[in-house]
Amino acid sequence: MWADLSFTLGALSALALALFMPRDWGEGRIGSSFLNPIHFGDLALALGVLSAIAMNWWRKDSALWRALKVAGLFAGLAVSMLSGARGGWAAIPLVALLIVWELGRNKSFHWKVLMPVTVAVLLGLVYGLSGTVRDRVNGVSSDLTQYTQGHRDTSVGIRLQLYEAAATLIAENPVLGLGGDGFRDKMTLMAKQGALTPTAATFGEGEVHNQFLAYMANYGIVGGLALLAIYVVPAVFFAAKLKSASRTTRRTALMGLSFVLMFFVFGLTVETFDLKSTVSFYATMMAVLAAIVQRTDDKINSFEG
């Protein structure tokens, strides 16, 4: 009960920050004074999605409650668009498919066909009507074309350089990696060797822009497996609870599984765990959702017993 509107209020608060206390981090990309546009947009998007899944979470919501939760969804989407964090946008179709698949278990065939089509149409409308989204998405193709032509210092090109550098360093130190700041410390040398442009090396001193490659480069296979466990262990826990007899348990498990999936996708283009705030956010959400899942499941099992 106490958590019912928390995700909604979080998404709406993020939108309020973006509208009334924005910080332009460059090229019109909006973040906050304490969080860059990528993390800011991604976390707001996650809160917005959870707000929507929380519809009729533990009871049948009133019209006002449903309107608030829908507003939370659109607030999260709006902040994500203002941030220009297109890496997070890749999570939208995946989590939409997960939600449609889970909620459509006992639905009619027409519902199972109509909902994916509706999601696809909505995504198409966002692409067609939003110049920001369209420019950011089309920019990926432009950057890739420039990369093949030798101009590597674009947003995508810099990431590709860093990924190639990480792959090289992982191959050289596969088991334990280079140590905590190993990747960063190699940037100057790799730039001098021509493996990276100076611009890419400067960005690489900040982060690898891929959570898995960062852990593999710095901590080797051991670190990579540890990172996968951070995603896989809670995902397995929540996936198992999707079969619970309790509707509230199933809905909470869907929220937890969706959140893990989103964070995994976020980590493909940015280091999600390089800030204490994002680490705390992920850990807290996992703890809260897992606790609610377990408590509601225990209640139904106790009642049946």
Residue among 35, 53, 29, 44 nearest 80 (CA): 44
pLDDT of residue 113: 79
Q: Where are the beta strands (DSSP E) in 6-90?
A: 23-24, 30-31
pLDDT band at 255 (very low <50, low <70, confident <90, very high): very high
Cβ partners under 8 Å of residue 166, min gap 6: 183, 208, 210, 213, 214, 216, 217
pLDDT of residue 303: 55
Helix H or strand E encompassing 220: helix 211-241
43-74 per-position pLDDT tens digit: 999 999 999 999 999 999 999 999 999 999 99
Q: CA-to-CA distance for 46 and 10, rounded, in angstroms?
A: 10
In the structure encoding, which two tokens stand for residue 270, read together?
């940015």
221-230 per-position pLDDT tens digit: 999 999 999 9
pLDDT band at 275 (very low <50, low <70, confident <90, very high): very high
Residue 72 Cα distances to 68, 208, 271, angstroms? 6, 32, 25
Q: CA-to-CA distance for 286 and 238, rounded, in angstroms?
A: 10
- Exposure string for 53-80, b = 16+ CB within 10 A, e = fewer: bbbebbeebeeebeebbebbbebbbbbb
Whether 297 has a pLDDT exceeding 90, the answer reads: no
Query: pLDDT exceeding 70 applies to what percent of the chain?
Result: 98
